[in-house]
Amino acid sequence: MYKVLKREQIVPNIHLLAIESSSVHQNARAGEFVVVRADERGERIPLNLVDWNKDSVSMVFMEVGTSTSKLASLKPGDEIATLAGPLGKPTEEVQGKKIACIGGCYGIGALLPVIRMFKEKGNHVTTIIEARSEFLLYWQDKLREYSDEFQEITRDGTKGHKGHINDVLVDYIKKNNVDMVYVQGCTYLTYLCSEITRPSGIKTIVGLNPIMVDATGMCGVCRVIVAGETKFGCVDGPEFDGHQVDWDNLIARRKIYINEEISSLSFYECERYG
Amino acid sequence: MAKIVPKKTAMREQPAMERTKNFNEVPYGYSEQEAIQEAKRCLQCKRPTCMQGCPVEIDIPGFIDLIAQRDFRGAIKRLKDKNVLPAVCGRVCPQEDQCEKLCVLAKKYEPVGIGRLERFAADWEATQGEAPVPKKPKPTGKKVAIIGAGPGGLTVAGDLIKLGHAVTIFEALHAPGGVLVYGIPEFRLPKVIVYREVDYLRRCGVNVVFDFVVGKTATIDQILHEYDAVYIGTGAGLPWFMNIPGENLNGVYSANEYLTRSNLMKAYLFPEYDTPIVRGKRVAVIGGGNVAMDCARTALRLGADAVHNVYRRSRKEMPAREEEIHHAEEEGVIFDILTLPVRYMGDEHNWVKEMECIKMQLGEPDASGRRRPVPIEDSNFITPIDTVVCAIGQSPNPLIPQTTPDLKTGKWGNIEINPETGKTSKKGCWAGGDVVRGGATVILAMGDGRVAARSMDDYLKTGVW
Ligand SMILES: Cc1cc2nc3c(=O)[nH]c(=O)nc-3n(C[C@H](O)[C@H](O)[C@H](O)COP(=O)(O)OP(=O)(O)OC[C@H]3O[C@@H](n4cnc5c(N)ncnc54)[C@H](O)[C@@H]3O)c2cc1C
Ligand SMILES: Cc1cc2nc3c(=O)[nH]c(=O)nc-3n(C[C@H](O)[C@H](O)[C@H](O)COP(=O)(O)OP(=O)(O)OC[C@H]3O[C@@H](n4cnc5c(N)ncnc54)[C@H](O)[C@@H]3O)c2cc1C
Ligand code: FES
């Protein structure tokens, strides 16, 4: 069992979770993730590492279904059943490049360690975050600290640029000599950004989120097709070249359990709230 | 000498029609009376051939004689001298290819039910309350790390803790047992049996650390900074696919995923447990081994109307244990032998809906001595299905070799060892079980563990590699 040190809602539906751990930090690197299981009946779910030290690790998660609802109900002092990591391949370290880093929903939090690493390696970092409205944007100060440029996008125009990532990214890569684009967030965002940069051929690295179970390369549920080859997202990824990903397959595979996810959540809510 | 009884004492089991509706164990085990009756069939040979078939050299006639005399405690003690997991081995060992095959009775009649008697003695012990822990030996001050809590790792832990070494097991998953827990289903091996044995080891002082993925959380080299010796028993957990079109469609599983969801994550109890599994109505399981039988029988219990076992050779070549094939047949699994899938077709939502297969015939024997299956031209046919489970084999997971450059591996990513000692190419590191052999058996993994433990103890005492 692993002790919860902190669980707080940062913005509606997005939470920070800090768990006591003395072993995950020692090899942890930007871009890696952990697997958590809320309780003994819980599913194993992957969450990106956003921060770590010798006593704890923290993650940012979005409440979407049963597992994340269970996590969202945790209080300091509670315990979770599983915390395993770090897992996956770390973000490839590059130097002296101009990189545009894009984050949406939980990906805003997941960007933090990556832009910190990029910055430490002497890259020029432009951070772009997006949300529906200003009240869903978060961690601007933390992200600014490691960004040379910083932009916000809201769909309703309450903050920063009004509109979508499309307009901003298309414009940004036209006006700047960008070497690389890096994206964290839901599948739709990673897909969209990859399509935006495809014509220009700018290298685009995306953090994917296929369904996982063990996350050690043992089951193969996380397979994604990259450059026509089957890869295991948990050990060969989770970051891949967005121009090489078979998006149709990834999007379809993420929906394998959609009916079960819905019934699981209503079962959990009935049990919890009667 | 007693009169020869030609047939094994029958073991009662759940009727096929009933058991496909639950995950409870299929055979009930012997009663005391039945066990004694079966034990009395043993001829107590002066030079017992059965023992030559046992990879861990159990005193077979010895423990059977004790059962015949109603000394069950003595019998289990005799078994445990050589085998730390008798309740497991009694259930899953391929006795028909080992001890029972060499039983003198087997020349003319049915062999003694050695496996059933082993199981009986172990189950009897479990009814006697918590097994007492032996007196703690004098600590040697040496620390051993075991990677993987499968049957191999558990055997090493049991042997070395008794010798006074401090033992820590690092396990990647959240439960111990390896394949015994995540792979072999409850109806064949109830998980409480494995947990009981692990609990015993913990009471003896073995420290088990879960959620620790060696190669990621810490590398072997990092572990060697803190420990005097390391045993790698990480099994063969990398699932193979056939690389045919359509394998990434929704509804196509590896056996590992299917079984892990159902067994380790208890998806058969969804939604009480959170992990889901597809409850397919028309399921195809590809492959002819124990793993395939376990998947097919799981699919039936999850409510399938039709489960096809698709195997490219003939029934005779199936590597699964006869007992497993027989159980699967009784339960209604349909065997499509001499059949090979060539592609899967999906619907507009990427769900598998059909499987195209080609008929095979047997040609000349191949390297394994079995006749090679060759496709029959223009024999392709299409079957409607909604779930596929690919159970064609697995090889060792590369996480540890990739992060341990001086660990020598073979063609399949298997770790190379000296079979007499279990030593790898890396000083202070031993290995055994499936990570060395590829998919093998529980008892071979345990045998490897025993050999390595002996060599590790020598090294810890003398410091000589
Ligand atoms: C490598 C990796 C890293 C990840 N890192 C994070 C992270 O740092 N923070 C985080 O919040 N999530 C992260 N995810 C996704 C996270 O694992 C899932 O959100 C989680 O498993 C959902 O579990 P659940 O039981 O709450 O929801 P489920 O019941 O599994 O899903 C409920 C519904 O939400 C949809 N859904 C699930 N996940 C997402 C998603 N990410 N975006 C949009 N819709 C989704 C499902 O399709 C379904 O309709 C990561 C995934 C991977 C593979
Ligand atoms: C479905 C199925 C049915 C079978 N049926 C039979 C049968 O009836 N009879 C029989 O004799 N054999 C059977 N086998 C084979 C048998 O189970 C294996 O040969 C045996 O379990 C191998 O034991 P092991 O200790 O080498 O490894 P495993 O049992 O594979 O255990 C390895 C352990 O190491 C852990 N691990 C892996 N990588 C790491 C890492 N990097 N860090 C930490 N831990 C790690 C794994 O999580 C696992 O717990 C079956 C196998 C399967 C899959
Ligand atoms: S999650 Fe099981 S292999 Fe990747």
What are B309-365's pLDDT values in tens digits? 999 999 988 999 988 999 999 999 999 999 999 999 999 999 999 999 999 999 988
Residue B2: per-residue pLDDT: 59
Does B241-392 carry CATH code 3.40.630.190?
no
Could you read off the pLDDT of A136-164 as tens digits, one per residue? 999 999 999 999 999 999 999 999 999 99
**Residue A209 half-sphere exposure toward CB, CA atoms < 13 A:** 22
Domain edges within chain A: 2-87, 98-269
Residue B368: per-residue pLDDT: 79
* Amino acid (one-letter) located at A230: T
Place of tokens 């394994």: B368
Nearest to A84 among B211, B253, B398 (CB): B211
A274 has pLDDT over 80: no
- Please name which ligand lies nearest the alpha carbon of B436: 2
CATH 3.50.50.60 boundaries in chain B = 143-237+395-462, 241-392
Which is the closest atom of ligand 2 to the Cα of B185?
1
Alpha-carbon span A150 to A129, nearest angstrom: 8
Neighbours of B341 (CB within 10 A): 23
Could you read off the pLDDT of B23-34 as tens digits, one per residue? 999 999 999 999
Q: What is the mean pLDDT of residues B102-111?
A: 94
Q: What is the CATH number of domain A98-269?
A: 3.40.50.80
Could you read off the pLDDT of B392-444 as tens digits, one per residue? 999 999 999 999 999 999 988 999 999 999 999 999 999 999 999 998 999 99
What is the CATH architecture of B16-126? Orthogonal Bundle (1.10)
- CA B383 from chain centre, in angstroms, equals 31
- Pairing mode, if any, of strands B229-232 and B429-431? parallel
In this prediction, residue A272 has a pLDDT band, given cuts at 50, 70 and 90, of: confident
- Please name which ligand lies nearest the alpha carbon of B233: 2
In this prediction, residue A193 has a pLDDT band, given cuts at 50, 70 and 90, of: very high
B304 has pLDDT over 80: yes
B48 Cβ inside 6 Å of ligand 2:
no
In this prediction, residue B122 has a pLDDT band, given cuts at 50, 70 and 90, of: very high
Could you read off the pLDDT of A245-271 as tens digits, one per residue? 999 999 999 989 988 888 888 888 888
Residue A9: per-residue pLDDT: 96
> Tell me, which fold does domain B143-237+395-462 have in CATH?
FAD/NAD(P)-binding domain (3.50.50)
- Pairing mode, if any, of strands A149-154 and A161-162? parallel
Q: What is the mean pLDDT of residues A13-19?
A: 97
* Amino acid (one-letter) located at B381: F
Alpha-carbon span A234 to A211, nearest angstrom: 9
Q: What is the CATH number of domain A2-87?
A: 2.40.30.10
Q: Report chain B's mean pLDDT, rounded to a whole number.
A: 94
Question: What percentage of chain B exceeds 70 in pLDDT?
Answer: 100
B377 has pLDDT over 70: yes
Residue A214 CB partners (closer than 8 Å, separation 6+)? A35, A44, A234, B172, B173, B260
Do A213 and B261 count as a contact with CB atoms less than 8 A apart? yes
Alpha-carbon span B91 to B108, nearest angstrom: 25
Could you read off the pLDDT of B234-258 as tens digits, one per residue? 999 999 999 999 999 999 999 999 9
Nearest to B256 among A85, A220, A263 (CB): A220
Q: What is the mean pLDDT of residues A18-29?
A: 96
Could you read off the pLDDT of B162-220 as tens digits, one per residue? 999 999 999 999 999 999 999 999 999 999 999 998 999 999 999 999 999 999 999 99
Q: Nearest residue on chain A to B178, judged by CA atoms?
A: A218
Do B217 and A223 count as a contact with CB atoms less than 8 A apart? no
CATH 1.10.1060.10 boundaries in chain B = 16-126
ipTM: 0.94
Could you read off the pLDDT of A64-96 as tens digits, one per residue? 999 999 999 999 999 999 999 999 999 999 999
Residue A44: per-residue pLDDT: 97
Residue B117: per-residue pLDDT: 97
